[in-house]
């Protein structure tokens, strides 16, 4: 008589709880966030028709003059529903006068607002602060760039990550309090073609302080030790801004 080998039942793997909510201070939660996309075009002899087309379509956006291209423009558009980018915005860009322009895909950037868990007003942080910042007529200059951290940063202990990020945040806050540079920080994991982690916008009244902030950030531990890639950079000056809502 032969016996069958004993079959050991494996214990089911531990359940993974997926939580995609944004979280702020005092137990605030939100499923809302703002998606922001920059597209850059060349061959624009006159940007005024572009602004009129955006106004007619009621697109929330900023139209920039491209500092690096005398006939270049950048369009920063934003919406809560990402379907906006493949419906209303696509229809607007597919018609005149945008259809006559040449797009620069290498400078396309996209990200979404996110929380760190400490925001006192979560909805304002996710939805309204980014809009106020980019639509402020007193801050027409902008630098936009994506970045990707190294895998080594992800392997650091949480307290080490916090110390590195705190150094970065302290610098940014100092420039903001001096009204020299104001930042928009967006996550872009899995959203952009180059697999970047974040999209950063710096805006202000003058260009030099924005460049100075980028220069100063180079000395931080995050930038000097834990950044795998940085850029490309788009530098623009606002030609037109949609009315703030």
For 184-204, the pLDDT digits (tens) are 999 999 999 999 999 999 999
Mean pLDDT of 19-24: 97
What is the model's pLDDT at position 13? 62
Which range has highest mean pLDDT (53-57, 221-225, 240-244)?
53-57
What is the model's pLDDT at position 14? 75
Considering Cα of 172, then 177, then 180, then 183, what sign does the dihedral take? positive
8 Å CB contact between 73 and 44: yes
Q: Which fold has domain 30-237?
A: Alpha-Beta Plaits (3.30.70)
DSSP letter, residue 219 = T
8 Å CB contact between 203 and 35: no
Instruction: Give the pTM.
Output: 0.92
What is the model's pLDDT at position 6? 43
Check pLDDT > 80 for residue 10: no
The whole-chain average pLDDT of the chain stands at 94
For 90-111, the pLDDT digits (tens) are 999 999 999 999 999 999 999 9
3-state secondary structure of 98: helix
Angle between helices 207-217 and 158-177 (to 10 degrees): 160
Please report, for residues 3, 4, 12, 15, the alpha-carbon distance to residue 9 in angstroms, rounded to integers and kept in the order given: 18, 15, 9, 17
DSSP letter, residue 141 = E
Check pLDDT > 90 for residue 212: yes
Check pLDDT > 60 for residue 123: yes
What is the model's pLDDT at position 5? 45
For 133-170, the pLDDT digits (tens) are 999 999 999 999 999 999 999 999 999 999 999 998 89
């Amino acid at each position: 008589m032969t016996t069958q080998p004993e079959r050991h039942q494996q214990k089911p793997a531990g359940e993974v709880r997926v939580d995609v909510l944004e979280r702020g201070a005092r137990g605030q939660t939100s499923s809302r966030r703002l998606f922001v996309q920059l597209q850059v075009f060349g061959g624009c002899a006159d940007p005024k028709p572009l602004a009129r087309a955006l106004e007619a379509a009621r697109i929330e956006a900023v139209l920039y003059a491209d500092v690096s291209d005398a006939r270049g423009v950048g369009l920063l558009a934003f919406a809560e529903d990402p379907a906006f980018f493949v419906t209303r915005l696509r229809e607007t860009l597919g018609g005149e006068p945008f259809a006559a322009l040449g797009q620069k895909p290498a400078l396309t950037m996209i990200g979404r607002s996110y929380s760190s868990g400490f925001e006192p007003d979560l909805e304002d942080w996710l939805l309204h602060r980014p809009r106020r910042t980019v639509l402020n007529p007193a801050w027409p200059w902008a630098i936009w760039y994506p970045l990707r951290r190294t895998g080594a940063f992800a392997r650091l202990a949480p307290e080490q990550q916090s110390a590195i990020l705190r150094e970065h945040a302290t610098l940014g806050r100092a420039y903001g309090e001096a009204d020299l540079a104001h930042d928009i920080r967006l996550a872009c994991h899995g959203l952009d073609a180059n697999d970047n982690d974040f999209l950063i916008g710096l805006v202000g009244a003058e260009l030099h302080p924005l460049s100075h902030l980028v220069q100063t950030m180079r000395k931080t531990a995050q930038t000097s030790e834990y950044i795998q890639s940085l850029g490309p950079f788009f530098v623009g000056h606002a030609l037109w801004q949609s009315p703030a809502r």
